[in-house]
Chain A
């Protein structure tokens, strides 16, 4: 069971949109609609932003959206704001009652 693949870093200017990818296999991302995304600011615990591929908790702004195509899931953040600067991690069900995380992506708001 290998970690999901994410770009190490992405960046964007305020007001722009960015997309973070999360690539797995047919045994995890591609096999189930159980992908979630977490935002982590330095020194704090991760916070769920998207779950079950495209569901958004009530407290998360609708600027955050999720999708999946094949073995790759994506998190899109529109209308970037300074407070969006953080690390983002994807997580997928890996089968056999196991879960796997991505390596994380550092988002820089320019």
Chain B
């Protein structure tokens, strides 16, 4: 079955810096890769996703890149703000199936 690894487990940046979180997956059949942001005491919030027919997708300060050959995908946050502080999860799935999640990255943005 699918296995998703996520790095780093914690990431501290200064406000205004960029943050990059990386994930790898094992199942070449996976074709959908969402990223979720989870704030304390809340459910995960879908922030961006990418499908396997696309190499990069941007939404304002957030971008995701996908390298299907290497089975890598990454989340890039530019101009970080304190409100970006949260736990971020990557996930992978092959269509309308269960999401397999990475172990999460705790991002701390210091003012």
To the question of whether A and B form a pair in one complex, the answer is no
Q: Contact residues of B with A, CB < 8 Å?
A: none
